[in-house]
Each structure stands twice: as structure tokens, then as C-alpha cells.
Amino acid sequence: MDADCDLFERFVRAASTGSLRLPDENQLLSLDPGAPELAHALQDFCKAIAKFVSIVAENRDPGPGPDLERTEVAVGNVPDRTDLVSNQDLQRPTTSTESVERLPTPCDDGIEITYRIRDGVVTLLPKNMQECRDLPFLAEQACKVNATETGVFKYILSTDCGGGVSSGQATSAWSFSSARSDTGRTCLTYHQHSESVTVVPTDPLETEPQILAAELENIVSDFQQLSKMRYCTDLPAQTEEQRRACGLPLRSPIYPLPHNQLDKTLYEVDGLHSPYGYLGTGFFTSHREDQNTWSINVLHKGGPVLWLTVDPKYAPVLEGLESRWSCDQKLRHERWYFTTSELERLGVSYQLFLQYPGEAVVLFGKTYHQGGNIGSKVAEAVNYAPPSWTVEGYKECRRGSRGCPGYPIPNAYLRFLQPGEAQRRQSDDTGHEPEEDIASQKHPNQKAITQMPAKLSRRAVLKPPEKRKSDRSHLPNTTKRRRSPDPNPALTQMVQYLQKLDPFCVIPPYDPPVSPSVLKLVAAILSRPAIVSFCNLVQSRRHTETPLSCWVADDGDERQLELRLHNLGRIQAQSHLDKFIVRIHEFELARHMEHKRKGRIRNDPQDIKNIVKRSGWDYQKFRRHESRGRKWLELFKTHPGLLCFLLVDDHLPFEVSCTDYIDMSATDISTFRALLACEYANRLNAIGAKFIESLSPLAEDVEFRWEAEKVCWQKLSPLEALECLSPITWEVDNIYSPEKYPGWERPPDWPTYKEWPTNPMVILNHPQCELCPQTQCSCYTTKFARAESVQPRIKNYADKGRGIRAVAGVPGQVAYVEGEYIGVLSGEIVPTGTHHGTMIMDFNHPDILCEPVVCQIDFAKRGPCLRLSNHSCRPSARVKAMKVSGQYRLIMTAARDIYDAEEITVDFKRSSLDGPCLCGARRCRERVTEARTSTDR
């Protein structure tokens, strides 16, 4: 039966739009062979609807008629108007099919305009633009139905209100993130992105408000989907040029409007008196309109838009919820997005409905509303003050350093003009503010229209009034132009303070109402001292005295958790490195416990008891570390690499500590994570994550570019600093790029049968591989793949600089036995004589007579950490060219047994050294030579 009703609805819609192609009786019967009566009824009904539409279009009273009397669709009165409803009107592609899915028939109820009720909201059908602009008349008609109780009504734009709608463009957009506030409600945070955005509206989808509401609630709780939304708001849409840029019709159907009392106020406020455009997809949180004004919101294309409006008599229920604010915009400041189930628990009556293209939604001044859209849209909105409007009784937002967030509108700006007084446009004015009660306040004003997120814009558009020759009574005796008041002085002062501490400091994009203290904690992580602290952390890791046995590979195994707890208990947490290790262990402990919960609220007490027993800890100690770990996880779950950049030891000059991060509230944590969603923080996170990954004994050690250079961080820009911080990458195979060296000469005695240029390390005779008899094989990738074993580490060796230390699987034992494979050396193949230095190796080709040098291998800018091996006259390892998979590969093997913590060294020959030999071996060739020279003398 539900399917039959859906089919019935579609027939009604198609008939009313004039697009119905009536099926014959056999086609209708094929839908349900068992219900011939339904097929007959549907066919009769479709004929009646088509007849009714044609009669109305021809300006004839249809009369009830037997077919229309048999249907019960009539809900309004049809006046005798020639262009009230026509096929041309209802076939416009941008007009909602939902809006006209039911055509009313005449009834004597005192209503002078066609209307219908859908989802509890009355929708009016004005006949032309003049009637569409007559808001008092439309409101009067709507209130005769139910608009007084619901606080909202809709009307459908007539055909002469239409116009071309195209894609819109904007230079910035907002994204969203959500969190639970201290009261347990969903709070949305907005993040501005300075990027060029082109919004192409999508075709509206047929859906139901309950379905779209559920989809939007799911998106609010899904961080990934929510962060992908882009909403362009506060786009001026007054002039034709502005409207063309927004993709709006050049003539606005809602501006200007007759009988608008805002035309008589002292100031004209952008977005309040004139329209704004809204493009893209997004949300607007629960709020009411400023200064008791109405709002008119037109959807031109895209959508549909979901609206949730609260009946005005239930407004005190929402206003009675605990809030930090006392003004009439308290819900706007909280940025709450209510779920339908939450409103039902509060006992609040609400309307849930959809807005389709070609529809205007009118909201009365005290109607709380929220909503959003998934399909990309092009819309506009403006405010309206009816003849009975007044600001009396409206609790304006508090301003000043401890005032309300955003850009409050003082009531005095909207007082009515005195006789002979002209309205002033705030964007052109200079001087003092108009009233004494405003003169001492410091926030400019910006209007946030219904469809924009609550108080999103940071543009300060109100400026003091202009000095006028005709009336100087309200101006001080001065000729100086005053600056616009700061919309958020506390935040501005914090930014100035941070930039004074560190001009390098990156201030992420923020949405004002962001806490200055939270901005400070984020800025400390993105600062130059944080980079220096990270470098000190890496250098501490390179110290030869730093133990290696405390690291465990976290593969989820219970034994690994026990080892982590064991190591955590051994750390004294005195040095910067120790404190960092503790943070990482706590973070991984919390992540492990979260994994064990498997979606439950808390861990199994027996599991915790077993863990504590096996680790030898007491319960309080476990809880302390696990609780701190949960906080680190909550703060840095999406950016764990930034744990490396916390200024918790070298806290100057920002004067922040570990406790400042641990003690953050849930709201501040949400803001903190949102501020970290910037490109600079993401790149720092990738760098830190690479370092954390290298702490596993099974992972390759990581080398950073700044370690091989003398870097003055004070002289680098943020982008230059990121380049110096980035890890050195390398490929398993050598890089051969002949196009970089177009004049690469053919090596001496290179075989004539072998083409040139070609990879000079290619094998010129058989066999092609020492590991198998095949001519083509994959031995290099299979036999020399990195084994799942403990890897060597980069260490600093006093005068010799960086070197490589062997690490054994069992401390104190042999790490590599004689002849055992250690690793592969790879770099960039360049022509002979290109470079000179200790990071260059000449390759003598074994297959050519006299083994001439055919190329060089450059390890300076890329290559594995083994390339940092130091020279020794009595080396522990050797490098040999080995035939593997058709090329010569440089393989490092143990020259003798190498023990745990012993340096891995190679004999580079004296000619490769830039200075004196520093190997310190007992039989150092340089020392032996000097001794022999002394004896000869």
C-alpha cells in the first residue's frame, strides 16, 4: 500500500506541473494486476487534475465537478486570477516539484491566496512578483492558517521573479568540525579556508525531511565527512556585479522590499538591510534572528535544504538551557546543533521540512531554527522588519573584552530616524558612534543571516558615522579619522603577543570565538622554539649513551603491552627525551586500551587486573598513566607526530607546560584539534610521525636534512624551515637519470655491442645474477628485502660525526656474524668526475678490462642510513659489488663478528678522506706510516 501511495503522490505532482503523460488503463493495471479498482481511480483522478490545471490557466472557475468532489486534496481557496497557476509557472526547472505536488481547490475559509500545508508548514502561491514582495500580506494570509503557531511559512516564487542561475564563486569557504560541549550537546566549529571556490549547484534530490535529517546527523558525528564540506557565506549580493559573481539572478526577488521598517533605521547594516549570498554545502546551528527581525531565505538552485524550526511558544525551553551567555543570541553563541530526539526529550514542538529551488522560507523574529544541506546550493537571504516591528525588550549582545563572540548589533544602531535625518551606510561612515551608550563599546557589527553559520564572518564592516556638513551635533570636535573598533580585542592582543615572542610563529586560521589560551597552546607547537626543541630531541636520540632496549614494536600483542609498561616503569623522566618517551608510551597505552574496548564504554575490569598483575604495577600507577594517555590520545589522535613538538621542558618563551595541555576542557580540546587542521600543522605532524616510527627497533632509522647542514632557524621562513626539517628519502635501487647529463661521455673500453647511454652498472656478461641461474629474476627485491629484524641506528661519534651503530636482538650479543648481510647502499648514479667528497663512491666496472671507473654513486642527498658509516683502517664491514638481477649492487656485509652497540665501519681508503684519519684503530695506516717515517729519520 505504501508503494501505491508513493505512485499516487508522483501522479499528483506530474499532473500539477503539466508534465503528466496519462497512462492508459492497461498500463495502470500492470502496476498491480490484483487491484483494477485502484487503476481506474488513478486514471480518473489524473484526468481530473489535468482538467483542473487547464481551467485555472484559462482564468475560468472550474466548479466542483464530480471527479474533484471524489478527491480530498483541497486545502485552500483559489481566487479568480489569470496567472495564479499555469503550466508555464509549474514547469520551471528551478521550481520545487514538492511545492506544487498538491493543488488546492476552492473552499470558503477567508484566505485570499492559494496555499497548501506540507510537513506542518503552510506554503503560499503568490501570483506575481508584486505579491511575492508584499510580506505583510503574505504573513497575514499565512497566519490565518498556522504560521502564528509555527513561526514560519513558505511561498513559491512566481515566474516573473525568476532569472538565470549559474555557478557561484568565492575567495574563501568554511569547513566544519563537531564536538560534545560540556553540557553533552553537539557543538559545531567553523574553520575558514582562504581558497578560490567555484560552486556548481546540484540537481535537487527527491527525499523526505526525516531521511535528510538523519543523514545530516550522521555527517555531524563523522569527522571525515564533516571536514569535506565547504560553505561560502556572507557574500555581498546587492549589486548586479556582486550577484553575478555569486551565480544569483541579477534581480533579487527579496530586495528591496516595500513596507520594510529597516529602511527607517539610523544605520544600514550589510547583511541585515541588504542580501547576502550562500553557496555550497553546510550547516547553520540553532539560533533566532537579530533584533526581532524576520528573515527571508530563497533557494535558487540545488539543495534541498533541511529546516528545523521550533514553535515560538517553546522558545523559553531552549533559552532556559544552561549557557555561558545571557543575551537573546545565547544559542547562536553556543553553536548547538540539536538532534530531533533531543528536542523530543525536552518536550519541544518543532517543524521539520524541506526547501526546494524556487521556494522562499520566511521566519518570524523569535523562531529558533537550524538546518543544513548536502546537495550544493545557490541561495540568498535578507532580513525584514514588518510595520509592527520594534527592538523593545530585545536583550542585545554584550560587547567589550568579556562580551559576546562575533559581531553584536547594538539596539541603538537600529533606532528610527528623526525627522530630517538621513540613513547612514555604516561602510562609509567616520567619526564616533551615534549614541552615548555605544561610544564606549569596542566591537563593530556584522550581520549573520539565517543560512550562514552562527556569526561566522570575521570581516568588521561597521565603521563610525561620517561627518556631515548638514548636521554636526552628534560629532565630536575633531577632524581625525578613527580606526574601526577591534571585534575581538583579547584575541588580537594574543596574536600580537605571540608574534612578538616569535615572528616565525604560524598562527592558524581561526573562527572568533576561539579561546586565546587555546590559540597560545597551538601556536607554541607551531613555533620556532618547538622546532629547536624537536632538533634537540633528535640529537638526544643520537647520543651514544641513549639506551636502545626501551623501545618495543607495538603490534597489539599482550606481551608487547607488558614490555611497554616495563619500560615505562624504568624511565626516570628527567631529561627532555625521557619525558617525550613517557608521552609516547602513555599515548600508545591509551590507544591499546581503546582497541581492547572494542566500542564499549569502558575496559573489562578483569583485563585491567591481569595487565596490572603481569606488569608488577599497582592499580593507581596504571590508572595515572592510562588517564594521561587518554588525554594525549584525545588531543593528538589525528596528529600524533606533534607530540614531538610539545614545549613542555624548554617552556620559554611561551611559558606553557604539560599540565596546560592535560587540563584542557572538552570544548577547548575540540577547538585545539580544529586549529591543528591547517597545512603547516599537517606537515609538521608528518615529520614528527616519521621520527616516532623510527623509534621502533624494527624500523629503519630516519635522517633529517638539517642534520647535514648548519641551519639558522631565525633566518628561515616557515616553508624553508619545513624543507630543512623534512626526512631524507631514498630508494632501494640506484637512481639513474641520463636526461640530467646530456653530454655523458661513453666510458673507456665500453663494449661496442652495448648501447650508450645506458645504466653503467649493468652486467655486461653472464651470469646476470650470483643468486640464481636465470637471465631475468627478482632476487634483488626478494633476497635483499629488509628483514624483520632489529635495524642499526644513527649515532654521533664525537670528532667523527655521525656514524652507524649495530643493534643486536639480544643486548650484549652478536648483532652480525662474519659474512652476514647488513644492507644495501644506493644513491644517484652520475658521470665520472661530477662530484668530490666523502659521500661519493667511484664504481670500477668488473666486466671491463682494467676495471675502469665508469660512474660515480652520489650518497650526499639521498640513500639509506648505512651511507653514514665512518671509515676505519680496521673495518667491521665491507662493501662489495655483487651481481644481482642484471645489475651490480653495492652490498654491505660483516667483515667479522659485529657485537651489540659496536660501530659499523668501512675502509674507504686514504684517498677518499678529506682530512686526517680519525678511526682510532690500533693498526691505523696513518699512524703506522707516521711511525715508519719517524724511524727512517
Residues 623-656 pLDDT 10s: 888 999 999 999 999 999 999 999 865 456 788 8
Beta bridge partners, 906, equal: 871
Each residue of 705-738: b (16+ CB within 10 Å) or e?
Answer: ebbeeebebeebebeebbebbeebebeeebbbee
- In this structure, the answer to whether residues 799 and 708 fall within a common structural domain is no
- Does 919 fall in a domain? no
User: Is 338 a domain residue?
Assistant: yes
Which of 367, 352, 370, 351 lies closest to 185 in space, CA to CA? 370
Looking at residue 150, what DSSP letter applies? H
CB distance 445 to 424 below 8 Å? no
Q: For residue 155, what pLDDT band results from cuts at 50, 70 and 90? A: very high
Using the predicted structure, report yes or no on whether residue 183 has a pLDDT greater than 80. no
Mean pLDDT of 216-240: 87
Residue 446 inside a domain? The answer is no
Bigger pLDDT: 930 or 417? 417
* CA-to-CA separations, 442 to 456, 457, 696, 755, 876, in angstroms, rounded: 19, 17, 54, 78, 73
Q: Please indicate, yes or no, if residue 457 is contained in any of the structural domains.
A: no
Task: Report, as an integer, the average pLDDT of 78-93.
Answer: 33
Q: Are residues 660 and 602 in the same domain?
A: yes
**pLDDT tens digits, 347-395:** 999 999 999 999 999 999 999 999 999 989 999 999 999 999 988 888 8
Domain count, the chain: 4
Asked if residue 465 has pLDDT above 60, the reply is no
Q: Nearest 5°: phi and psi at 326?
A: -125, 0
Q: Which domain holds residue 203?
A: 168-439
User: Do residues 772 and 908 share a domain?
Assistant: yes
The residues, any chain, with a CB within 8 Å of residue 679's CB and separated by 6 or more, are: none
Last residue of a domain, one of 703, 725, 747: 725
Lowest-confidence region among 123-127, 348-352, 361-365, 833-837: 833-837
pLDDT at 815: 93
Looking from the CA of 333 toward its CB, the CA atoms found within 13 Å total 22
| 926 domain-assigned | no
Within this chain, do residues 697 and 739 fall inside the same structural domain, yes or no? no
674 shares a domain with 755: no
Residue 109 grid cell: 475559509
Last residue of a domain, one of 416, 439, 462: 439
The percentage of the chain sitting over the pLDDT mark of 70, rounded to a whole number, equals 76
Residues 717, 720, 724, 725, CA torsion sign: positive
What residues pair up with 352 in beta bridges, in sequence order? 308
Question: Among candidates 363, 446, 464, which has minimal Cα distance to 407?
Answer: 446
Judged on CB neighbours under 10 Å (0-12, 13-18, 19+), 621 is middle
**698 compared with 796, residue with greater pLDDT:** 796
Cell numbers 535529517 correspond to 213
The predicted model gives 882-903 an average pLDDT of: 94
Q: Examine the fold and report which residue of 680, 703, 725 is the final residue of a domain before the chain moves on.
A: 725
> Do residues 421 and 398 share a domain?
yes
- Judged against a pLDDT cut of 60, whether residue 464 lies above it is answered with no
Quote the CA–CA distance of 905 and 902 in Å, as a whole number. 9
Q: What pLDDT score was predicted for residue 459?
A: 35
Backbone φ, ψ for residue 658 (5° rounding): -60, -35
Q: Does residue 526 contact residue 508 with C-beta atoms inside 8 Å?
A: yes
773 within a domain of the structure (yes/no): yes
> Mean pLDDT throughout 412-419?
86
H/E stretch holding 376 reads strand 369-384
Q: According to the per-residue pLDDT averaged within each range, which of 430-434, 551-555, 845-849 is highest?
A: 845-849
In what order do the strands lie in the sheet containing 870-871? 793-797, 801-805, 903-906, 870-871
660 and 617 fall within a common domain: yes
116 shares its domain with 250: no
Phi-psi category of residue 136: left, alpha or beta, with phi > 0 → left and psi -120 to 50 → alpha: alpha
CATH number of the domain to which 424 belongs = 2.60.120.650
The C-alpha cell of 410 is what? 547594538
Q: Has residue 580 been placed in a domain?
A: yes
C-alpha cell at 330: 545565547
CB 750 within 8 A of CB 864: no
pLDDT at 648: 66
Q: Do 380 and 300 form a contact (C-beta atoms < 8 A)?
A: yes
Helices (runs of H) and strands (runs of E) counted in the chain? 28, 29
- Asked if residue 417 and residue 383 are part of one domain, the reply reads yes
Q: What average pLDDT does range 794-805 have in this prediction? A: 90
For cell 479498482, the residue is 37
Residue 762 is predicted with a pLDDT of 94
Does residue 186 belong to any structural domain of this protein?
Answer: yes
pLDDT band (50, 70, 90) for residue 463: very low
| Closest alpha carbon to 164 in 250, 277, 93, 87 | 250
Task: Give the pLDDT of residue 496.
Answer: 87
- The whole-model pTM stands at 0.51
Res 604: pLDDT: 85
Same domain for 839 and 708: no
Are 179 and 155 part of one and the same domain?
no
Listed in order, strand segments (DSSP E) in 663-775 are: 735-736
Residues 233 and 294 in one domain: yes
| Alpha-carbon distance values, 175 to 153, 676, 910 (Å) | 29, 13, 61
> Could you give the 3-state DSSP secondary structure of residue 763?
coil
Distance CA 44, CA 527 (A): 75
